[in-house]
Chains A and B, each alone.
Chain A
């Protein structure tokens, strides 16, 4: 019974993983046979790579800010939608709809909306006498701009939170209310413990997505820099402005496919796998402690 699933797991997970680990100890350009160089790739990664740390910090920034902000907004909107009595379906559709827009299209639209020179956002700000920032063209604002985009497309998580919130037994809120619990206490001791599995799912998938953050940042850099093609090479705008949007996976892509260093790119991939695994174990332990029994 398990054989087909096991076979799929071996071919599409175990083999690539093992091969990546092997390649990470080699000099490999995809054309010549891999050459064993021991820990050389890892030594370079930790001591010489000029951009791996900025790419790592950018990625961690998205993990630390984008994931929780997106979840908080999604949970908040879902909480409001639970209370919506009239035209609830319309509101749910309105908030979910942006999640259906393809990522590339939504990023392109946002970059144009937030264009410092011609975008409507800065025009409105200017009308109110507020000097608009350079948004995607400013290293200090480029990542927050993507967080705004992330909030706009939080419908996928929001709809799951909504379903989960609707499943929370009303009696528990009534009992808590009779015991004198205020809104915050009801959230802490009733809502969150009940939606814990969904919250765990949202956090884990959010962290994984943030660690692999690529498309939105790459397209934003490219469009904001006025380039037509997303990709590698000297015409590439990956990381623009000033490497502020260069994420770890983009750097891995550049080293693997622009610089033909598949061995080194594999080392980067292995480290990402290890970091992701450690983060997930920590999250799972944290959530394990956060059970209804332990919550009290």
Chain B
């Protein structure tokens, strides 16, 4: 009798929990915020919550620009939450936490945040306040909007190019960096040295995909690699733009020896530590972002190095000068109760020339407005000029926003990581499989 009573209680409680779960799950995302005003507010007063991912020194740079904003807007207080990655930002927005303005390190979230409304559409306030989008490079504009919804603004950019050790190149008889991948391979072979047992001692260039900044996204501009069709489906296999690049990379890995290269690579220092292999001279040429100049200045100030655009696939000479572009983006959360304050701060961070220059000088990233790019106040090392040029190159490319986030890139990257060990016989069949996997995932997310 007692047991039956307990069983009955559990059954009723479970039923109640089920009903509550269903009810709560239906309204868990109801996080409505305040609408933008129809005209630009004359007075700004209140507190705005600003979430960003930076920490330590970089967080101080952000804080200094926020301080400038507060000085210019004495009625506004900015609550800064540093060290908040995309996962935390998304959870905060989803649960209705007080986050007005969010700054992300990844353009990969734009497609999803725009399409789901996690970040608000800014088109109306951009038009209302007459913000000139022409001040941003086209490529930057492309990765801050999705399907006509501009839900984010660019907060500096990253550009990727080739770093080369001038001393090592000079010792091997080279005075200029390579411009094609065959030149790169020839030079890298000459720059590679071996130990007595045949293992690699120093490497001219490390082609191992997945190592450091070697990724499909960063390699794409070397061959004009296409990612997505206009309808969002995968173009990786169908476009045929990746095959030659992948075959070159795989052949080069096999020429060095996959296991030999793997052994050498596994013994290299961590990318963002002072043991970075390029900074230590273990690798003579390396693909990396403009931010490396700041690391070198800090961790290896005596390194004699140069920068150049990455060499391009043979036969694609017209692409030389281009590189991969990405950047930080910021948007206003759907649940913001202070959208006008958030918009004012967002405009300041992304369009005020002094603020953009100060951020660029402090973070050593590429500025994203025309005025800031041309500003005499930019205080960047000589090697940085390469990245400003890459930023302005018409063939520079980015990874397009998608509702899948970075999922489509990861699918392709996984295949390439496998392909390079020489175990894949039919490259095109593999790439077709990549297309299918991406399209299936897209259908799951957006389909009926």
Contacts and interface: CB of A to CB of B under 8 A. Distances in A.
Interface of A: 2, 6, 10-11, 14-15, 18-19, 22-23, 27, 29-34, 40-41, 44, 48, 50-51, 115-118, 134, 136-138, 224-228, 231-237, 239-240, 242-243, 254, 257-261, 264
Contact of A14 (B17, B273, B411, B437): B17
Contacts of B199: 117
Nearest to B87: A257
Nearest to A236: B410
B268 A226 contact: yes
Contacts of B440: 44, 48, 50
A14 B29 CA distance: 21
A130 B30 CA distance: 63
Given A14-B14, A33-B27, 19 more contacts: A6-B13, A14-B18, A15-B20, A19-B25, A22-B25, A31-B117, A50-B437, A115-B267, A116-B262, A134-B266, A137-B262, A225-B210, A228-B273, A234-B410, A235-B215, A237-B210, A257-B87, A259-B406, A260-B112
Nearest to A20: B21
Contacts, number: 156
Interface stretch (B90-98, B241-249, B378-386): B90-98
Contact of B116 (A18, A32, A243): A32
25 contacts: A10-B13, A14-B13, A14-B18, A18-B17, A19-B21, A19-B24, A22-B25, A32-B117, A34-B25, A115-B267, A118-B267, A134-B259, A136-B266, A137-B262, A137-B263, A226-B212, A232-B87, A233-B86, A233-B106, A234-B108, A234-B215, A239-B414, A243-B414, A254-B410, A260-B112
A14 B407 CA distance: 31
Contacts of A259: 404-407, 441, 445
Interface in B398-445: 399, 404-407, 409-411, 413-414, 417-418, 421, 433, 437, 440-441, 444-445
Given A257-B87, A258-B410, A259-B441, A225 B211 contact: yes
Looking at B268, B406, B444, the one whose CB has the most chain A CB atoms below 10 A away is B444
A50 B414 CA distance: 11
A118 B6 CA distance: 62
A115 B270 contact: no
Contact of A234 (B113, B266, B273, B406): B406
Contacts of A34: 25-26, 29
A227 B266 contact: no
B414 A30 contact: no
B22 interface: yes
A30 B270 contact: no
Given A6-B9, A31-B29, A134 B262 contact: yes
B424 to A, nearest CB: 11
A20 B404 CA distance: 21
B interface, how many residues as a size bin?
35 or more
Nearest to A137: B266
B334 A31 contact: yes
Looking at A30, A51, A243, A257, the one whose CB has the most chain B CB atoms below 10 A away is A30
A234 B21 contact: no
Interface string B98-140: 0000000010100011001110000000000000000000000
B30 A226 contact: no
A50 B440 CA distance: 9
B87 A33 contact: no
Contact of A22 (B21, B266, B444): B21
B352 interface: no
Contacts of B21: 15, 18-19, 22
A194 to B, nearest CB: 32
Given A31-B117, A240-B210, A234 B217 contact: yes
A15 B17 contact: yes
Given A51-B414, A116-B266, A242-B421, A33 B29 contact: yes
B29 A2 contact: no
